[in-house]
Amino acid sequence: MGIVDNYKHIHAGLKEGVKLVAVSKTKPNEDILEAYEAGCRIFGENKVQELTSKYEELPKDIEWHFIGHLQSNKVKYIAPFIGLIHGIDSLKLLKVLNKEGRKNDRIISCLLQFHIAEEQSKFGLDYQEAVDILTSPAFADLQFVEIRGVMGMATYTDDSNQVRKEFQTLKGIFSRLKEAYFQNQSSFAEISMGMSGDYQLAIEEGSTMVRVGSKIFGERQYH
């Protein structure tokens, strides 16, 4: 199957209300346009430079999501247009985003990334670190960022019980945070979890946003 069929197939199988982020990192514009023609409007990238050139070259009604580890010194390049940043893991980064949001006179939407996998290498906060951010006086001053939910990546494993448990953990974190800090903020509503190998499981466990790359565009070639 090609990109159009892949996209349509995955999109048609989603539970109502679940958003599909087509992860187009490393893929050329022509591939992105194929998915676009099939109806896709949300694309995810994890490199700032690649994202900004694609933003400039491709249709302006695309909503771009940043899904990687964002360095503070690169925020300024994406602040004018980014739709959602999935990987927030520090107050420092939120402060920089707030500054750039102010400059661009727009509120930047963010998700807090949590470490739910067994692997050491994956970025993210634990619950207490998130609480420390959300209750700090500095956070209360940030007028140009909005936390819209949480994001996480499960362990890369065939053990679906393990993966399911990790998704349940993220859902649990979301619910606790919602209850404690976001009861009056209806926009705190997103649970970004699930990739090509585990998005169906993620949806069963409450995902509102899946990030699917290789199942739409084929395997990535790195060189």
Ligand X SMILES: *Cc1c(COP(=O)(O)O)cnc(C)c1O
- Within its chain, how far is the Cα of 70 from the centroid? 12
Rounded to a whole number of angstroms, the minimum distance from the CB of residue 205 to ligand X is: 16
- Tokens, residue 50: 């690649």
Rounded to a whole number of angstroms, the minimum distance from the CB of residue 126 to ligand X is: 18
The nearer residue to ligand X, 25 or 171, going by C-beta atoms, is 25
CA dist list (Å): 56 to 46, 94, 197: 16, 25, 31
CB 69 within 8 A of CB 113: no
The nearer residue to ligand X, 51 or 142, going by C-beta atoms, is 51
Residue 179: is it exposed, middle or buried by C-beta count within 10 angstroms (0-12/13-18/19+)? Answer: exposed
The nearer residue to ligand X, 80 or 197, going by C-beta atoms, is 197
Interface residues with ligand X (CB under 6 A) are 23, 25, 46, 67-68, 153, 195-197, 211-215
**Residue 143 DSSP class:** -
CB 24 within 8 A of CB 43: yes
Rounded to a whole number of angstroms, the minimum distance from the CB of residue 151 to ligand X is: 8
Rounded to a whole number of angstroms, the minimum distance from the CB of residue 186 to ligand X is: 25
The nearer residue to ligand X, 70 or 147, going by C-beta atoms, is 70
Chain residue whose CB lies nearest ligand X:
213
